[in-house]
């Protein structure tokens, strides 16, 4: 991805497209039925191959009334400092996964997030869901 890019809705959409494409490639090669940790490692390799910047297992600060609490929240991937990615390898998606992603997005002030489940037949059709929040709506479109 391009360094020092101005954060816009279009840029975020482009980053999301690239990440979902990387997840599709991992799923195509590895198939379904593996542990989440395997997909995590494979997706990290795919993002490196595509020269997409990311942090992995990044600790998410929780601040309550001005005090940083000792809570060990970690996101799977923060891509290009603007897209939060949470990975799953489960038979059934639950609302708690969406709540977790949206909470992490809020704590990091991250405008967009993607929840990817590798235990599916088709990542594009059923294995991913994208979320935006109030930070996304405040960004310029182009």
Q: What is the pLDDT of residues 40-74, one digit of tens each?
A: 999 999 999 999 999 999 999 999 999 999 999 99
Q: Give the per-residue pLDDT at 5.
A: 72
Query: Helix axis angle, 36-49 relative to 9-30, nearest 10°?
Result: 120
Q: Give the per-residue pLDDT at 2.
A: 42
pTM for the full predicted model: 0.91
| DSSP line for 79-127 | ETTTEEEEEE--SS--HHHHHHHHHHHHHHT-SEEEEEESSSS-HHHHS
Q: Which residues contact 120 (CB under 8 A, 6 or more apart)?
A: 27, 32, 126, 127
Q: How many helices (H) and strands (E) does the chain have?
A: 5, 5
Q: Which residues of the chain have pLDDT under 70?
A: 1-4
Q: Give the per-residue pLDDT at 6.
A: 86
């Amino acid at each position: 991805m391009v360094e020092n890019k101005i954060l816009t809705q279009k840029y975020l959409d482009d980053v999301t497209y690239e990440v979902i494409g990387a997840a599709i490639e991992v799923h195509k090669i590895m198939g379904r039925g593996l542990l989440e940790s395997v997909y995590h490692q494979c997706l990290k390799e795919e993002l490196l191959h595509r020269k997409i910047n990311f942090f992995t297992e990044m600790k998410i600060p929780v601040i309550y009334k001005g005090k940083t609490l000792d809570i060990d929240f970690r996101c799977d991937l923060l891509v290009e400092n603007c897209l939060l990615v949470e990975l799953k390898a489960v038979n059934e998606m639950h609302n708690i996964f969406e709540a977790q992603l949206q909470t992490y997005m809020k704590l990091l002030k991250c405008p967009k997030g993607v929840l990817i489940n590798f235990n599916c037949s088709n990542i594009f059709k059923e294995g991913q869901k994208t979320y935006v929040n109030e930070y996304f709506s405040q960004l310029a479109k182009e």
